Amino acid sequence: MRYSITTKTTIIFAIAFSVVCLLFFTFVSIQSDKAMEKLYEKQVSTINYLLGLYEKGNPPQNLRRYFSNFGFEYVEDETLALDVIKKGESIFKKRTPIGEVQSLSYKKELYLQIQNPSFGILLESHENKNVNDPLLFGFLFISILLISMYISVLKSLLPLRRLSKDIRQFASGNIDMSLYKDSEMDSQDEISNVAREFDNAIAKIRELIRSRQLFLRAIMHELKTPIGKGRIVSEMIDNQTQKDRLIAIFERLDLLINEFSKIEQLLSKSYALDYKECHISLIVEQVSDMLMLDKFSEKVNVDIVDDAILSVDFSLFCLALKNLIDNALKYATDHCASVSCYNDRLVVSNRGTPLTYNIEHYLEAFVRGSSNEIKEAKAGLGLGLYIINQICIMHKFKLDYEYSDQKHNFIIYFGGVA
């Protein structure tokens, strides 16, 4: 079972405080018992000494002063005296020449009573009243110390919640945030140091992301200009065949730049999906235009068994399917691929040799397979399957793979599960 640091800290301090309380009450009980035993022995010795004086015929002239010398005082409060006599528990009782002597315990105090026909006195000692004061002061000191430490630790841990929240915001794409304000940077505790290091790391990551975005956008902007000029110049060519070829090339370049822009947004986690409902047949038709193959129907066999309606980001899902078919054509031994569409899945197949590694290896970014696999296809960045898988994850689809009958089958399950 997992608990937060705050909960664990609270449990530790609660256990520590409970142990302190237990030790305090244990020591108080032991100290009180010892004090009562000591007072009892004092009462016995006081009475024995008094009896010795009577036996020697030298009784004290003033009993109040005699008992005062031993630390005993008369109980002046009549109400208390009556309660002690009536409700007190007798510890010992003895008949002596001076009368009946007994020790009474009442409310954790010990009283000495002497009763004879001529007088009756009730004595008390104040020695036990402050016997536990040192323990009480120690308990209060340790309790205040523990509570202060607990509050101090909790205050130190409080920034962790904000730190965790800020890190989640940064991970969700808010790169312009700052973990700590300047006024909070003066603290030198470990959590503040961690926050400062995260803030420095975020600043560096932010600069890297912005420089990468600026670099890519500058390249795409610079490429747009010659493509636009080339597109205009191609319209001036008289030969229709050459003209069509040049126009197709420049349109292909423009399409690739737009794809690079989407890929850049996808990799930087800054792309927001624009869901639209569309038929699979419309998606396949758009993909055939994006591939710009001379003889699409001869190279790609499309079998739409069920023309299902999908709720997808049209341009992004077309990009995924286009990359999946393009990848199948590149690595196919016969340079052909097939697309089968059903209500719950879409399958792209091509003939080829088994993969060298597990499919999870090829779903990583910038993975291009073994040297033999690279020779069978054109050079690339190794982002094809990674982008396809990321787009499927964004749509809550599942990309699966199986190899059977010397054919690679890449399956996109629309329900997210096989």
Instruction: Give the model confidence (pLDDT) of 3-58 as tens digits.
Output: 777 888 888 899 998 998 998 888 888 877 787 778 777 778 878 887 787 777 77
Mean pLDDT, the chain, whole residue set: 79
**pLDDT for the residue 101:** 82
- Residue 320 pLDDT greater than 70, yes or no: yes
Instruction: Give the class (CATH, top level) of 173-271.
Output: mainly alpha
Query: SS3 of 72, please?
Result: strand
- Of 186 and 221, which is predicted with more confidence? 221
Token pair belonging to 16: 């520590």
Domain range list for the chain: 5-133, 173-271, 273-413
- Residue 128 pLDDT greater than 70, yes or no: no
- Residue 76 pLDDT greater than 80, yes or no: no
- Residue 181 pLDDT greater than 80, yes or no: no
Measured from the Cβ of residue 298, the count of other Cβ atoms closer than 10 Å reads 9
The pTM assigned to this predicted structure is: 0.50
Q: Which residue from 173, 175, 181 is spatially nearest to 201, judged by alpha carbons?
A: 175
Measured from the Cβ of residue 219, the count of other Cβ atoms closer than 10 Å reads 12
Average pLDDT over residues 164-188: 65
- Of 306 and 224, which is predicted with more confidence? 306
- Local confidence band at 273 (pLDDT 50, 70, 90 cut-offs): confident
**Cβ(391)–Cβ(259) below 8 Å:** no
Average pLDDT over residues 388-395: 87
- Local confidence band at 347 (pLDDT 50, 70, 90 cut-offs): very high
Measured from the Cβ of residue 174, the count of other Cβ atoms closer than 10 Å reads 11
Instruction: Give the class (CATH, top level) of 273-413.
Output: alpha beta
Average pLDDT over residues 266-284: 81
- Residue 283 pLDDT greater than 80, yes or no: yes
Average pLDDT over residues 395-412: 91
- Residue 379 pLDDT greater than 50, yes or no: no
**pLDDT for the residue 223:** 73
Token pair belonging to 89: 């528990």
